[in-house]
């Protein structure tokens, strides 16, 4: 009898496709354990949870449309649209393909938890040891620029550079502000000083905890003006610069682009470069046409190689194509860290939003070259498929 019952249950699961996520002990949001009217399920490695519960917990307003069985969730300037049994979702009218479509279980609509959370700026982590899904959120708050006397950036978050200590390439984890040595550094926001001492490769450094998982780091200082454990207010003097300030922002231990928090630097590109930039834009348009006509990865790599040979332009430092589905092609080839995701980079995000992007000028840490990044979105049959970019040298270093 037990054997027959077990077979019956297996058959039911086969036809319903529902596998309840019993291996998950709990799901927490900012430290609080969440409860759901229907138990989460796991489908194809994706965890789905009740839609209203997760959206409202993230602060979004949910609107149900019974005619087409779709739901919209709105928070600030973000509007997410989902439809039952459809793998197509929309973020501000831009189509996204989901790994698993929303579905109804026991009268409740379930949606992929990671997609929903990350769309509204949250972070999802899997605690394998305790079998927990941990969701954290922190609203991006604007902070004060850390060096009042210098409004320039000489190295940008996400850039690859050669690190002599490891004899390999690393991703730059902050921004470099090339202030005159001895310039005042101020706290970007209220907080408590965690560290104020010499620490390894940071040199003299100050760590400030601002709460909500946000920490700012001020490195390569010539002088430290605050002590560990002291409270500081936004704009308080905390240190003085060395050769430059290395400034980082971490959220729940993860490096993020500091320019999301400190006011972006607006720079005008010198007119002497305008013709060169316009010429590069034309080359970029041609490259976009060639890539959009290719689908095979080997062909794309060949397109980039042939393009570099054809232009014979030594000022083009790098050519790349980053796909919306993940992955990046580089010419010349550079090995990237395993966790590198071009879709998280400022140039990719801005291009996807606006269709094209021109960065501020920056100086390469190793070569000393003054470089500018120019990118353009690629579309195929009206659908966004990725970003193509060129790094152009405006001035060669000594």
* DSSP string for residues in 167-185: TEEEE--SEEE-PPTT-EE
- Above 90 in pLDDT, residue 155? no
Phi-psi region of 167 (alpha: psi -120 to 50; beta: other; left: phi over 0): left
Does residue 111 contact residue 82 with C-beta atoms inside 8 Å? yes
172 vs 265, more confident: 172
Does the structural domain 271-395 have CATH classification 3.30.450.20? yes
Backbone φ and ψ for 315, nearest 5 degrees, come out as: -80, -15
Residue 328 has pLDDT above 90, yes or no: no
Tokens of 170: 């690393």
Residues of the chain with CATH 3.30.450.20: 271-395
For the chain, give the mean pLDDT.
82
Per-residue pLDDT, averaged over 12-30, amounts to 60
Whether residue 19 has pLDDT greater than 50: no
pLDDT at 355: 85
CATH of domain 18-136: 3.30.457.10
d(CA 112, CA 124): 12
Contact 394, 316 (CB under 8 A): no
Residue 188: what pLDDT?
A: 95
Task: Give ranges for CATH 2.70.70.10 in the chain.
Answer: 160-260
| Residue 208 CA to its chain's centroid (Å) | 22
Cα separation of 355 and 387, whole Å? 9
**Residue 376, pLDDT above cutoff 50:** yes
Ordered DSSP codes for 314-355? TTEEEEEEEETTS-EEEES-----TT--GGGSHHHHHHHHHS
Q: What is the arithmetic mean of pLDDT over 60-77?
A: 86
Q: How far apart are CA 230 and CA 235, in angstroms?
A: 15
User: Could you tell me which residue, 374 or 310, shows the higher pLDDT?
Assistant: 374
pTM across the whole model: 0.44
Contacts of 49 (CB under 8 A, 6+ apart): 27, 36, 40, 110, 111, 113
Which range has the worst mean pLDDT, 95-99, 244-248, 277-281?
277-281
For residues 351 and 331, what is the distance between their CA atoms, to the nearest angstrom?
A: 20
Residue range(s) of every CATH 3.30.457.10 domain in the chain: 18-136
In 3D space, the residue among 215, 301, 294, 296 whose CA is nearest the CA of residue 252 turns out to be 215
With contact defined as beta carbons under 8 Å apart, do 347 and 257 qualify?
Answer: no
Q: Is the CATH number of domain 160-260 1.10.1040.10? A: no
Query: pLDDT digit string (tens) for 287-314?
Result: 888 887 765 556 788 888 888 888 777 8
């Amino acid at each position: 009898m037990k054997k027959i019952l077990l077979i019956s249950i297996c058959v039911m699961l086969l036809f319903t496709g529902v596998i309840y996520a019993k291996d998950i002990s709990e799901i927490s949001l900012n430290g609080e354990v969440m409860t759901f009217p229907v138990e989460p399920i796991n489908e194809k490695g994706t965890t789905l949870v009740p839609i209203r519960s997760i959206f409202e917990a993230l602060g979004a307003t949910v609107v149900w449309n019974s005619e087409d069985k779709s739901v919209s969730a709105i928070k600030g300037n973000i509007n997410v649209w989902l439809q039952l049994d459809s793998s197509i979702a929309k973020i501000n009218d831009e189509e996204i393909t989901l790994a698993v479509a929303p579905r109804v279980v026991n009268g409740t609509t379930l949606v992929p938890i990671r997609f929903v959370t990350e769309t509204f700026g949250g972070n999802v982590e899997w605690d394998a040891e305790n079998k927990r899904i941990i969701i954290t959120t922190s609203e991006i708050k604007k902070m004060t620029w850390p060096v009042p006397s210098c409004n320039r950036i000489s190295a940008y978050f996400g850039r690859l550079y050669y690190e002599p200590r490891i004899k390999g390439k690393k991703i730059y984890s902050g921004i470099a502000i090339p202030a005159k040595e001895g310039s005042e550094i101020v706290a970007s926001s209220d907080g408590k000083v965690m560290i104020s001492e010499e620490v390894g490769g940071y040199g003299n450094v100050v760590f400030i905890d601002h709460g909500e998982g946000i920490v700012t780091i001020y490195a390569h200082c010539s002088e430290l003006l605050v002590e560990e454990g002291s409270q500081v207010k936004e704009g308080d003097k905390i240190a003085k610069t060395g050769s430059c300030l290395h400034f980082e922002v971490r959220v729940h231990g993860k490096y993020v682009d500091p320019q999301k928090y400190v006011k972006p630097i607006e720079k005008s590109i010198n007119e002497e470069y305008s013709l060169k930039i316009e010429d590069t834009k034309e080359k970029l348009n041609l490259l976009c046409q060639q890539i959009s006509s290719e689908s095979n990865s080997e062909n794309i790599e060949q397109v980039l190689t042939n393009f570099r040979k054809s232009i014979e332009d030594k000022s083009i430092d790098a050519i790349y194509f980053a796909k919306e589905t993940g992955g990046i092609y580089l010419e010349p080839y550079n090995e990237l860290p395993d966790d590198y995701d071009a879709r998280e980079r400022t140039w990719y995000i801005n291009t996807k939003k606006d269709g094209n992007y021109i960065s501020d000028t920056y100086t390469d840490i190793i070569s000393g070259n003054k470089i500018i990044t120019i990118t353009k979105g690629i579309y195929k049959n009206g659908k966004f498929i990725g970003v193509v970019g060129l790094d152009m040298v405006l001035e060669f270093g000594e």
